[in-house]
Structure 1
Amino acid sequence: MITRRPQGALLAASLVLTGCGGGAAAVSERPPSSERPPAATTVQPAPTVSLDLAPQQLPGLGPKTWAQVPDDARQAVVVTGRGKDSSRSSVVLYERTDAGWEAGETWPAHNALRGWTGDHHAGDLRSPVGVFGLTDAGGRLGDPGTRLPYDHGSGFTATGTGFEGEPLAGSFDYVIAINYNRRPGTSPLDWTRPLGAGRGGGIWLHVDHGGPTHGCVSLAEEHMKELLRALDPARRPVVVMGDADSLAR
């Protein structure tokens, strides 16, 4: 496990928050076999075979979205928003097997206050739609057992309140950086923005604080820890995120 020290200052909260009974047979007297009529032949129907195979393509994705999923991806975190302008979504971790994609539990989540966009910019209060790599993690609390590189430190301290007045404390106890406008292979705290600062950044999966985010996707702490323990860089994990209509294109 690679553990990195924090790099750079905490991303400002305004940019980051973004599961027959049977009785005894009766005994009867039977005539000799020579006096018995021939037994009727009963043909038993062939058993029905049910093939419950995992889908070969991630459910809910249209051709445009599916084409963005790398061929070598064997794990996919699918975030499906309730609507274009909704801050509510659901998250499912899919694992690719020889039989196809197998789904885990569905977890409730929050996304950005104003919903989703295919053209994310800093301050638009929408989460970016797309398919992005998941390569780096970190948090204020210690590594819960992830195989991703994990940056542990006080730089992940969150303060203030959210859009509904809820405290943000603990939101960054566990985070997974979403590779939107960032440099993969660095701490989630890295400020590098390859597309420029105007396109936003600091888009994470992080602990839910009970309300909408600035652009991130937030999950209950127990689900964040479960996700961190499940993700394996050798399986090339990605996140597929957006409102249901956008993902279906």
Structure 2
Amino acid sequence: MRDAILFAGPSLWGSGMPIPPGIALRPPAACGDIVRALAERPRAIGLVDGIFETRPSVWHKEILAALAEGVPVLGAASLGAVRAAELHSCGMIGVGAIFRAYRSGLIERDDAVMVSHAPPALAHRPLTVALVDIGACTRNWPDADRRLVLRIADRLNFRDRNWDRLAALFRERAGREMPAPDRAISRKRRDAERLVSRLAQGVDRPVACPPPPETPWFRRLRQPTGEAALGRYAEAGRA
């Protein structure tokens, strides 16, 4: 049986779950990575983490192309949860609480799951903390303290959301030390692990759907040299 392909990084940091046999782990996905993965004819694709800044993000059309070719695509935890909520009606499978929160509209901001993270050599270790995990790590705090730290975190850029920064701002606003968060809790990690388990169990082929329109940019992306077109796409701002 062909391997499934899993795009993940910071969301799985600290997980004690080994990647099961039959799942090929790849770094966070950027635009074009899912299209290139299709050339390997995987039995399924799992999208957890994706690139947001240094390269264009995964296109919706890539996922639709995979579904049209009969390859199940699952999303959870981070960019995968966002894309799954957006494409659920088209056959993408969402996994976990974060996906459900995006799907229901409880979470609307893309940056609620964003973090800065280390490079592959350091296993994509997260350097900041996501809004969804700040909420989880403070769930046992007094209500007033929790509301305050969430207001502070909500106004910070995702690049600046770390516990030291939050503690300093909390001290400045409240005039006392911030309660200790339970850093062992991570909604993102929990949902990523659920997606890994789901991939390991096997996933049914999606209901056949038509392929996305073959625009010039998408045709270029499908070509072996499609990577060179990404910079021009980013400048043009079109799909």
TM-score, normalized by length of structure 2? 0.25
Highest RCO, 1 vs 2 (Cα 8 Å, sep ≥ 6): 1
TM-score, normalized by length of structure 1? 0.24
Higher strand share: 1
Higher helix share: 2
